[in-house]
Every structure is written in C-alpha cells, then in structure tokens.
C-alpha cells in the first residue's frame, strides 16, 4: 500500500505568548485505505491536529507531505480537495439540500455525480429527504449526514472525521460506520476518525493513534492497542473511558 500522507515532527504552540506547546513531535504515516482512530482525552488537540492536516491551520513546527510532495508545494485548495476535514458541527451553506450536495463539485469544477449522492444519502437513511428543502431547516442529525455525504462526494484521498456521528441515533451511527468502512475498503480512501466512543473506535479502526501529554504516544494496530496498550497513559485512558462510558 502506498503512503499518502506523511506527518514529520508536527507541533503547535499554545495560544498567546506562552512558549508551551499544545503538542509537538507528531510523526506518523497514513496509507491508502487505512482506518485510523485518533483517541485522547478532551483538550489534547485532536481537532487542532486534524485541522492542520487539512491545512485549515498552520503547524508551528514540522512538515506534511502528500504522495511524496511537501505541503507548501501544493495550492491549499488542491490539498484540501485531497485531504478533506469533516467537522463535528456541520456547516450548511445557504440554499437547498441539493445546492449543498452540488457545492463541492461546483467548487472544484467537476461533474456532479447524482447517482452517487443518492446512494450515499440512502446508505445513511436519508433516501426520502426532500432535496428541495432548505438545508437550514434540517434536524441536527440530518445536517450531519448531509455534510458527510457532501464530503464523500469530493472523493478525497484522506477523510478527516471529527466526531461525525456525535448527533446521530444508534441506527444512523451504525449506518455511517458501515458506509465509511466500505468507502475506505473499496476506494482506498484513508480515514482518520476522532471519536470518544471506544466501542465505535474498535468497530471502525485498523490503527489507533493515541494522544496524551502533548505527544502522539502510541500508534498501534487497533487489536493490539485494545488488548495490550504499551503506555501507562493509554491503559489508564481505556480504564477510565470504559468505566465512564465515554470521556466527553
């Protein structure tokens, strides 16, 4: 499998004048079709890291490369088409559901694949949603699923998923997990997925990245991570998360 995205010594300083780092020395590789779950307690900087990976924020240290080409050699929009960030709070554009679904292809001058959009909407239980409805009038869960489909239609090489099932009911959550895993397997899209739900993490991951104390402390095959985490911090994280259900 080819390496798609490479992170070399990525660091981000804390806001303000403080010389302290939110995280640093993040080095890892992401290969085609890998399903990676990014775990860690609140405030470790998981969202910030994903935003750096899609170039919505700049790192203070280190470099990224995509398919062997350093990030500064890519136009930001070209990069973001390939490394797509899906936020926890879906941002709906003004206009209809259909306008939202078409927005991505319009932005990138590509043909709109209506059939693919219909298939994805149906896979997420939105087959009867009226596409002429104003996106602003959708429920939270409908918005989250529509935003996910809109991102899938970009057909990026890497999808960065920030708690994208947080406002879904259990059946819709399972449907999203299935769709995204199938998507990774069939298309070779790599997924980096933040979740606080350890059952979901075990379900949707091949690899776990675990952040703590401002570092990427573990990168391990998921089965190995859950069976025998190699750091005291990860053991304690799993114990606490298991006993509390989640660590929001």
Ligand X SMILES: Nc1ncnc2c1ncn2[C@@H]1O[C@H](COP(=O)(O)OP(=O)(O)OP(=O)(O)O)[C@@H](O)[C@H]1O
Binding-site ranges for ligand X (CB under 6 A)? 12-15, 22, 40, 42-48
C-beta separation of 213 from 40 below 8 A: no
Minimum CB–partner distance for residue 45 and ligand X (Å): 4
Q: Which is nearer to ligand X, 22 or 116 (CB)?
A: 22
CB of 20 to ligand X, least distance (A): 9
Three-point CA angle 71, 74, 77, nearest 5° = 110
Report the distance separating Cα 148 and Cα 139, nearest Å: 14
Cβ proximity to ligand X, 175 vs 201, nearer residue: 201
Contact 111, 168 (CB under 8 A): no
**Cβ-based nearer residue to ligand X, 44 or 205:** 44
Tokens at 108, concatenated: 């990138």
The candidate with the shortest Cα–Cα distance to 156, out of 110, 132, 124, 188, is 188
Beta carbon of residue 233, minimum distance to ligand X (angstroms, whole number): 14
Closest separation in Å from C-beta 210 to ligand X: 12
Minimum separation from the CB atom of position 191 to ligand X (A): 17
Q: Which two tokens stand for residue 80?
A: 């973001």
Place of tokens 């409805």: 133
Nearer to ligand X, 104 or 201 (CB): 201
Alpha carbon 9 to chain centroid, angstroms:
20
Which residue, 69 or 239, has its beta carbon nearer to ligand X? 239
Q: How far is the CB of 148 from ligand X (least distance, A)?
A: 18
Q: How far is CA 52 from CA 40, 41, 83, 151, 164, in A?
A: 17, 19, 10, 17, 18
Q: Which is nearer to ligand X, 122 or 247 (CB)?
A: 247
């Amino acid at each position: 499998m080819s390496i798609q995205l490479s992170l070399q010594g990525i660091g981000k300083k804390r806001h303000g004048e403080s010389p302290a780092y939110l995280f640093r020395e993040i080095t890892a590789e992401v290969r085609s079709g890998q399903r990676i779950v990014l775990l860690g307690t609140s405030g470790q900087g998981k969202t910030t890291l994903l935003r750096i990976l899609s170039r919505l924020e700049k790192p203070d240290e280190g470099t990224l490369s995509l398919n062997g080409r350093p990030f500064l050699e890519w136009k930001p929009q070209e990069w973001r088409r390939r490394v797509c960030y899906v936020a926890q709070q879906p941002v709906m554009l003004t206009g209809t559901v259909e306008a939202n679904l078409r927005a991505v292809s319009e932005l990138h001058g590509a043909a709109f694949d209506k059939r693919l959009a219909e298939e994805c909407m149906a896979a997420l239980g939105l087959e009867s949603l009226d596409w002429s409805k104003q996106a602003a009038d959708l429920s939270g869960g409908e918005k989250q699923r529509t935003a996910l489909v809109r991102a899938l239609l970009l057909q990026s090489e890497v999808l960065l998923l920030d708690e994208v099932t947080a406002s879904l009911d259990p059946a819709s959550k399972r449907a999203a997990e299935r769709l995204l895993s199938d998507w990774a397997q069939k298309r070779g899209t790599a997924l980096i997925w933040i979740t606080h739900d350890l059952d979901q993490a075990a379900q949707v991951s091949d690899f776990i990245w675990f952040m703590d104390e401002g570092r990427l402390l573990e990168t391990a095959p998921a089965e190995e991570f859950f069976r025998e985490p190699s750091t005291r911090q990860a053991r304690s994280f799993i114990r606490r998360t298991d006993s509390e259900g989640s660590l929001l």
